Structure 1
């Protein structure tokens, strides 16, 4: 019989713990950054755009993650970068200036993006294809529950506790640091099912996956940067109000995450992504013309529901990938995802000064382009069947 001590010594348990730890730090940073930047550092849309562009540079460099695997195990790297994420968030409140926020944001971002690269890779390596979508839905729910906890804590500490945003940053980042150190000592090292290549890999047969990943990064970045900023700038939401909006979005994902994971497993990646991008087109278009704070909040919540369906991008890749290429491709995919994320926020911050609506209309256009691409995903993706026009690889071709 398995001892109680070892019953949870499974990769799935570590994945769930990491899913909980990350939003404790990043959720704190995200919930407060607009208010902190505006109220403490006198940011405008232009400075916010520059800050967000800088935040995405480590994501753009995520392909370098593969070179670290030559010296450090992937599981170890995940926990080290989770710790760095927590540290970067914890010190954010100590430097309330343009240059200070650039430094702390970069430290936080290195931890966040390299941790996410490792976690995504380990998830696809450790889970069976038939279970991935459903389990990733559970991870979304676990992460959302943690976000719910941290956003509730932020609201209580700011509204009723009388703490400054600097202290809230320290608490949120510190919790992630504690969990990273705890996981380091509590979990064994889980062996690789398939040894991963330690070099950069770009495959022509992954081209559709690359394009979908690029577009997902572009349209998601527009909403992440400017949807929250609109609530603050146009509708006057303070930090406590923003936290309540985040609370509502995470509460929805706690319920919706597992259901969406099961749905993707049932209807397939292609249909799930189709529903996502149709929904996002209408969300972006509505956000461009919204004049009601309540409608803006509803659109914000809908975006988070649709975004949960993007796990189908990763399950699609898992089905077409060579198992030994998951780690190197995870780094490359993160880089591709962040090309637009690095380039767009600064010029879009300037565009925002002229026309906020135009920013969201571009997002609607990107959602339509994404919809065209995901319709090229086959209903039965597998190696040799990466898009609808590809012919399946024969047994003789595989042997050759």
Structure 2
């Protein structure tokens, strides 16, 4: 067991992780029912909105230029405030155009926070500590999501959806404002390169990010949509499912971190993509409400295995490349993420099974490239 000495950066990121978890829980729980029941969107419009949601992820390569004028930890806090604003005003614009605008704002904050969060973690914790910190943050996020899910389950019975969006969005913004005035820097780190960094030796990191974005978006865009549209899940049922998922993540995320340290990134990512191949095929060919729920839970659990892509990069990259490469990696991840949902939405209108078959194909391709990771990764930096 690796002990992590808590420090100001650990505590700083903890609060922002909680805010991001609340945002993800609120948006994920309410969005599909709000979009279907209030706005009345169809499968194509869902895919279009999900694609637009990922455009900020594609733009994360610009983060390195933003960091020329804003310190990285402050950008994390500002991103959280923007995330909360997007959530808060979602219910005030119950149209397709309104969903597009508010989703874009929320997503811009979320993706810039995710980029800086990963970068700060890799810079301030060593190669043995980083997987454990990622695992713990996943657990903390899961607990925050469980608590938020519990309150959502109650509040949707008492208040209209737009009020729920507003209240939870304000809570997220308050956490961001609080963090904005904190200084978590407790030690000097290797100065990061200014400007974009793209290197041939990082090609596998780029490929794995691209494929991860493709399969992840099929899950995000269509898994819950399947439960709501095909199996008639209510807001309360979706909230309960999210709580169950996060309860499992709380216990499994630290084990994933241990697995990365003990087994290595190659084996853990192999398990992830092998599992996902069968999960996506199950979505497509097993038309059973309870099986769909089970597959969703499994899908959600193996989601956390993807931290192995970042820890693999940390072990093989030059220290000064971490911050700019996180932005580039996130942007590459979202090239596929911008395209896949809208394409999947078009395919859904023809046959709803097709996006999930496409997910299985991406999982098999990912499985192939994961084998390119050396069995014993040579650590290039001290």
Fold shared, TM-score > 0.5 on shorter chain: yes
What's the counterpart of residue 210 of structure 1? Answer: 206
Contact 1:9 1:187 in 2 (8 A): no
1:171 to 167, 174, 182: 167
Aligned length: 377
What's the counterpart of residue 122 of structure 2? Answer: 124
Contact 2:317 2:380 in 1 (8 A): no
1:306 to 291, 294, 302: 302
State yes or no: 1:366 paired with 2:347: no
What's the counterpart of residue 155 of structure 2? Answer: 157
Secondary structure of the equivalent of 2:49? helix
Secondary structure of the equivalent of 1:309? helix
Secondary structure of the equivalent of 2:164? helix
What's the counterpart of residue 337 of structure 2? Answer: 341
Contact 1:86 1:173 in 2 (8 A): yes
What's the counterpart of residue 82 of structure 1? Answer: 80
After superposition, the Cα gap between the structure-2 partners of 1:51 and 1:379, relative to the gap in structure 1 and judged at 3 Å, is: same
What's the counterpart of residue 32 of structure 1? Answer: 30
- What is the Cα deviation at residue 189 of structure 1? 3.9
The 5 Å alignment of 1:194-233 reads: 194-233=190-229
Separation in structure 2 between the aligned mates of residue 274 and residue 100 of structure 1, nearest angstrom: 40
Separation in structure 1 between the aligned mates of residue 61 and residue 226 of structure 2, nearest angstrom: 32
State yes or no: 1:292 paired with 2:284: no
Contact 1:26 1:85 in 2 (8 A): no
Separation in structure 1 between the aligned mates of residue 162 and residue 213 of structure 2, nearest angstrom: 30
Secondary structure of the equivalent of 2:120? helix
2:233 to 237, 240, 247: 237
Contact 2:9 2:184 in 1 (8 A): no
What's the counterpart of residue 258 of structure 2? Answer: 262
- What is the Cα deviation at residue 383 of structure 1? 6.0
- What is the Cα deviation at residue 11 of structure 1? 1.3
RMSD between superposed Cα atoms in Å: 1.5
Greater Rg by CA: 1
What's the counterpart of residue 271 of structure 2? Answer: 275
For residues 58-91 of structure 1, the C-alpha deviation after alignment (integer angstroms, 9 at most, x for no partner) is: 1111101100111111011111111110111011
- What is the Cα deviation at residue 384 of structure 1? 6.7
Separation in structure 1 between the aligned mates of residue 186 and residue 170 of structure 2, nearest angstrom: 26
Contact 1:49 1:349 in 2 (8 A): yes
List structure 1 segments (4+ residues) > 4 angstroms apart after TM superposition.
none
Contact 1:154 1:168 in 2 (8 A): yes
For residues 131-160 of structure 1, the C-alpha deviation after alignment (integer angstroms, 9 at most, x for no partner) is: 11112111100011111111111111113x
1:105 to 81, 103, 107: 103
For residues 307-362 of structure 1, the C-alpha deviation after alignment (integer angstroms, 9 at most, x for no partner) is: 11111111100001111010000000010000011011112101101111111011
Contact 1:215 1:337 in 2 (8 A): yes
Separation in structure 2 between the aligned mates of residue 80 and residue 186 of structure 1, nearest angstrom: 12
Separation in structure 2 between the aligned mates of residue 309 and residue 103 of structure 1, nearest angstrom: 31
Contact 1:205 1:384 in 2 (8 A): no
Separation in structure 1 between the aligned mates of residue 16 and residue 123 of structure 2, nearest angstrom: 15
Unmatched tracts of structure 2, length 5 or more: none
- What is the Cα deviation at residue 263 of structure 1? 1.6
- What is the Cα deviation at residue 9 of structure 1? 5.1
2:346 to 326, 345, 350: 350
After superposition, the Cα gap between the structure-2 partners of 1:260 and 1:274, relative to the gap in structure 1 and judged at 3 Å, is: same
